[in-house]
Structure 1
């Protein structure tokens, strides 16, 4: 997974949209305490700094050292590189031991994880009772240019890694063995609106940060060549008229540690 985001780490940091502030407010309202949060697969810290507004401290981890070099500094956030081979026990110890974490967040990343291993660590470190875990991603549907985005998305399908299917399908099939707290659950993820001001240049930057676009280029196929970008720009001008965008933040299961486990 780390290798997929090494080459475009700078583009990712500049182009990916920020998550809605009210999402973090909602999640914080579900936890009994607000001492420690763990943001897993933090990338450049987009979710971590949102979580930090509600918790005393945030440990933000990622397997990509390149992404962490571009993480947004925050006085409450500690960034930590955790290579793929990091033992689960080491993570538990780093996080303060069993039952030490009030909130676990995973933004646009859980589909890359070894889910049994991650969930095993999550169960151990979540506070009992009162700890919450939430995972989410966003889709490619951008209003009012949904058709344009769907056509471009289809060109990326041959270059998508299998785990990305979870995200593109809105996490509907994502295993999520945690108790429902009323904000999405296994098989029925919640869908939330996500608004973000975006220029056409910003859109192209976001598309260039997609792992499938990078994989295609490594295989000699430029999905965002000059001709394609020109066609997208023409459609953008017809469909937009203004520099704003609205899409869905979807695939949000949030839950508590399964009772009795």
Structure 2
């Protein structure tokens, strides 16, 4: 598969313009790459077991490639797309992953063709990004490119619900509420209201996401890095409000248990997975 420089694949997925979406995450791209949690290997094993073939996967809104790398362990090749060039500059290289910067709008027909045509994709993954999409446009492309039968789409996310520091995280999250884009609130609500027009395969369905625990060892520095990467924190700073000022960081440090403490935490994530309806 050769990369066509003239095509930019995420066209139509972001109705407010891909430059807006790219700008939202470009400023904290390095922090994002260093601070965000890793996805569990058994998630990718479960998803791979559900697809009939393992030729091509598409990781949409790949960011720094966290999900794409996990998917690549089970598929011959992965096309990983994102609207943020800065995010992709921090993506982890992998011989099976083809990263594609997609800053401009592109017709769905071109997108389908670049992915190999209708019925060409075995697995579509969207990690911590689906709430930003123009979902009807995205789902239209997804229905067209997924293999039938046997193609699977999975979207998942996580938010401020982190055990065993739920109370601390909730208090900080409440200070960010005025600065979240409304679309991000679908994620903070655990994707319970996210449309998902696909057939249930036992890993969450529309209105009833499955629980997904993501365990990770985290330092206090890592916690602050993760909070710094939140889009609401960046938006607040652009408006002259530092949500992670010295006093706040000191309070978080005390609640965490000290700056040198490394804690085992569990992100309470959520997952929707399905396959296209036969009559779509």
Pairwise same-fold verdict (TM > 0.5): yes
Which residue in the other structure is 1:61 paired with?
81
- Offset at residue 190 of structure 1 (A): 0.2
Match of 1:256 in 2: 275
- In structure 1, how many angstroms separate the alpha carbons of the residues matched to 2:103 and 2:191? 25
- Conserved? CA contact 1:58–1:77, under 8 Å: yes
Instruction: Map residues 1-261 of structure 1 onto 2, 5 A cutoff.
Output: 1-237=21-257, 242-250=262-270, 252-261=271-280
Local SS of the residue matching 2:218 = coil
In the aligned structure 2, how far is the partner of 1:153 from the partner of 1:88? 37
Equivalent pairs, count = 259
After superposition, the CA RMSD in angstroms is 1.2
What is the CA-CA distance between 1:139 and the residue it aligns to? Answer: 2.1
CA contact (8 A) 2:83 2:103 kept: yes
For the structure 1 residues 168 and 188, does the alpha-carbon distance in structure 2 shift closer, same or farther, using more than 3 Å as the test?
same
- For 2:88 and 2:262, the matched residues in 1 are separated by 33
Deviations 1:56-85 (Å, cap 9, x if unpaired)? 000000011111111100000000011241
TM-score by length of 1: 0.97
Whether the aligned pair in 2 keeps the contact of 1:180 and 1:255 (CA below 8 Å) is yes
CA distance in 2, matches of 1:46, 1:161: 23
Please list every run of 5 or more consecutive structure 1 residues that lacks an aligned counterpart in the other structure.
none
CA shift in 2, pair 1:8/1:242, >3 Å = closer
Measured in 2, the distance between the counterparts of 1:114 and 1:242 equals 38
Distance 2:169 2:216 in 1: 16
Q: Is the 8 A contact 2:125 2:153 kept in 1?
A: yes
Q: Is the 8 A contact 2:193 2:207 kept in 1?
A: yes
Deviating 4+ runs (over 3 angstroms): none
1-side partners of 2:104 and 2:167: how far apart?
37
CA distance in 1, matches of 2:104, 2:49: 32
- Which whole-Å deviations, capped at 9, do the CAs of 1:76-131 have from their partners, x for residues lacking one? 00000112412211211111010000000000000000101100100110001100
User: TM-score, normalising length from structure 2?
Assistant: 0.90
Partner secondary structure for residue 163 of structure 1 = helix
